[in-house]
Amino acid sequence: MSRVSQKHTKPEIIVRRFLFSKGFRYLINYKKLPGSPDIVLPKHKTVIFVHGCFWHGHNNCKLAKRPDTNKTYWYKKIDENIKRDNRKVKELKKLGWEVLTIWQCQIKSKMESEKRLNRLLKSLATFHLFC
């Protein structure tokens, strides 16, 4: 597990490149906010978490299949990650931040990636029309 990257993962880089190409400027892994969001768009008061399906327990996702060995450890670890994620999202919303989550499986292929990231842009635009 020590070799598993927590920052600058391939899915994060895909999302960051997309946002940058659309003119968005952002902060990465901003430690002053709860949960150190992967991407922070301060101008839009929005944070984006890019979650790995396995590590964050994505529901109904084949990439999130839990291991058959050492079940006690893995179930506890992943369940704690889910609880922590939910807690951090609540804290961020309480502080007035819009929170978006992108899952690894949603940007796995180029076509899926484009669809999901274009929906991300629409949700950003919709949210900020009412602010």
The CATH number of residue 28's host domain is: 3.40.960.10
0.95 surpassed by pTM: no
Mark 13-22 as b/e (b = at least 16 C-beta within 10 Å).
ebbbebbeee
Q: Is residue 3 part of a domain?
A: no
5 falls within a domain? no
* pLDDT at site 4: 52
131 within a domain of the structure (yes/no): no
Hey, which bits of 15-94 come out as E strands? 27-28, 39-41, 46-51
> Residue 53: which residues within 8 A CB-CB, separation 6 or more?
61, 63, 64, 103, 104, 105
When comparing pLDDT for 125 and 120, which is higher? Answer: 120
The amino acid occupying position 127 is F
Based on the structure, what is the number of domains in the chain? 1
Task: Provide CB contacts within 8 A for 121, sequence distance 6+.
Answer: 22
Could you tell me the pLDDT band of residue 113, with boundaries at 50, 70 and 90?
A: confident
